[in-house]
Amino acid sequence: MNVFFRRSVGAGLVLTGMAWASAWASESLSPVDITASALNAAEVTPESSVTQVRVIEREEFAGRITSLADTLSESGHVQIRRTGGLGSASTLSIRGATSQQVQVLLDGMLLNDPVSGYADISRVSLHDIGRIQIYPGGAPARYAHAGIGGVLVLETRDAGDDTGTDITLGGGSFDTRRAALSTQLRHGRWQHAFALNHQASDNDFRYRNQAPWFNPNDGRYTRRRNAYVDQYEASLKSGLFIDAHRQLHSLLQWQDSEQGVPTIQNWAANDTALSTDARRLQLSYRDSSWAAGTVHSQHRLLWAMTNEQYGNRGGHVGTGSQDTRTHTQQIGMAHTLSWLLGPHTLSAALDLSHYDYQQRDVLGTRQRDTRQRLQTSSALSHEWHSDTGRWATQTVLRHFMTGDDSDEVGNTGTLTRTQQHADYTGWQLALTRHVGHHWQWQGSVARQVRIPSLREQYGQEGLLVGNPDLNAEEALNLDLTLRTDQRWGHFEITGYYRDLSPSMVALYDSRGVGRYTNLEARVAGAETTLHLTPTDHWQLTLSATAQDSENRSDAVQYSQDKKLPGIYHHALLVRSRWQIASFHASVSWHQEGELYYDAANLLEADTRRQLNARLGWEGVLVGTQRSRLTLDLRNLTDTQYQDFTRFPGPGRSWLLAFTHHFE
């Protein structure tokens, strides 16, 4: 396995080296008009997607104190569950999927952690993000990874978006503050984007000291303790346009964060914290000049390293004391090739990543646990677009392989070494049909796979017992969408169905120790969006989701035929926006209900209802230098809610941010 990987990495390095050599050899060429560079078909754009896609532009979150979790929850049809305030651990769900079933990509790099299986979106900053794409069903084949529950794509900001320098300062409730600086510039065939960001909050919001989290040392009301978050980020993105068809890009990101880990009882002595130091590097080469411009390719080299320290020496969280150090390193490559044959496009994608995971509790006497995973994802596809533009089809075949090496030390000090290999195949069919000038049908059916994470497969000390016989999740997904675009706006309705056979669910014993096992489940629902533009100054949006779920397995009697826990089965978003000259305002109502905390459906969460508002101004203060002022008002009704049982969310709050742009 390692020999194959080293050879693959070597080939990728040679390819990238040849590309750089080509770049330097082209220095004598005349300057290239960057804005006129040809589109590379090996890349994915929402306009070319045959499957359903939703887009969130940077304008929605730029210059605000916000997070990826907040931005997604404001978009509709995406469920976000938080353990607290700004920057707290958050999970993502699309159409009833778990966080592990949703793939999160950053410029093509998979952010899902190989250990937990999901991407903690609370750690993803938006300071250098230019656009967000959400594929709720089938993803384009250019993304070799295709999640059972959809794909979330984050695209970093290019220097060509808006040259100049932006400075953002802000603050708000619970001692929340933000300071950010970003610069985008061009020089000849080069372009650069540099960004710095600091965002922090004490998250010491006030809430009622109710029975579920009662602390006898507090009164009727108390404030959340040890829920702070302090996050620093920096990124540098550079691009060299060799000519109109060839480009080189690099992206370097760094993040350092620390956040408190609160307890259910809100103990004053709790000082448990999680510290994270993460770095990512991507090098990419794009070429659309092969075979007289009919073959387009994109090649990436990927590297990431994350160091975490979980400090719980006082033993205030969970059982026992821990000071756990975790080191995770990823190195990989991703290649995409597209062949344009008139109305047909043939594409191939290969994503190869090697993960090295080490963990040790320095308070214990055990040796460190060491695990390695080689993960390969590949896809072949055919797309066809009719000459009239009224028909489009997509056929995709995907293949996934994993190879695991694990050295784990048991409680007795015995070293256990295991090796496992697995491979799975999935497929996807999609169709788009335009009827007249204003109507469109979209439908897809897919068999998709999710391979168990390292934690699900091998367990975690004190929390999970490993299950070496655990099979991958396999799902049959179907969806059908009808959309109309009119002068007054647009209307869209989608029906979807997901059959999980098998799925992966953690079952817990009386000690609170879990073990993942295979069960069967289904999810079916409908989502609709109505967007109205009655005037040039007013927009009204309504998004609604209603879904049903069922645990179909008879392995555990108390959960059979029950609804799946951890997802809201009903959601409603109503938003009204006004724009008058340089001023804008919006009011939104969010309501989500029928969430069960447990598999037996004995604990149902209260319906979450929130009223939010935003006021803003954007204009010119000096010369051509633009400024923006934004005030976010959240949870105006001061409603107390719990996305996770015994973890209250913040009440009424405000956030104010000012951004100035220098040419």
Question: Which domains are seen in the chain, by residue range?
Answer: 162-662 (2.40.170.20)
Q: Contact, 337 vs 297, CB < 8 A?
A: yes
Residue with tokens 């330097």: 24
Query: pLDDT tens digit string along 51-80?
Result: 888 999 988 998 899 889 989 988 888 999
Identify the bridge partners of residue 624 per DSSP, sorted by sequence position.
Answer: none
pLDDT for 398: 94
What does the alpha-carbon distance between residue 278 and residue 308 come to, in Å, rounded to a whole number? 9
Q: Give the residue among 335, 342, 296, 337 at the shortest CA–CA distance from 40.
A: 296
pLDDT for 11: 44
Runs of H (alpha helix) within 334-487: 454-458
What does the alpha-carbon distance between residue 111 and residue 210 come to, in Å, rounded to a whole number? 37
- Taking the CA of residue 62 as centre, how many other CA atoms within 13 Å lie in the half-sphere pointing to its CB? 24
Helix H or strand E segment including 292: helix 290-293
pLDDT for 660: 93
What does the alpha-carbon distance between residue 161 and residue 184 come to, in Å, rounded to a whole number? 8
Distance of CA 29 to the CA centre of its chain: 40
What does the alpha-carbon distance between residue 520 and residue 523 come to, in Å, rounded to a whole number? 11
- Answer whether the bond into residue 502 is a cis peptide, omega within 30°: yes
Which residues does the chain have with pLDDT short of 70?
1-44, 159-161, 211-214, 365-366, 408-415, 461-463, 509-512
pLDDT for 108: 84
What does the alpha-carbon distance between residue 136 and residue 383 come to, in Å, rounded to a whole number? 19
pLDDT for 213: 59
pLDDT for 329: 94
pLDDT for 462: 59
What does the alpha-carbon distance between residue 36 and residue 26 come to, in Å, rounded to a whole number? 18
DSSP reduced 3-state for 464: strand
pLDDT for 34: 42
For residue 156, what are its two tokens? Answer: 């970093």
Q: Contact, 570 vs 546, CB < 8 A?
A: yes
153, amino acid identity: V
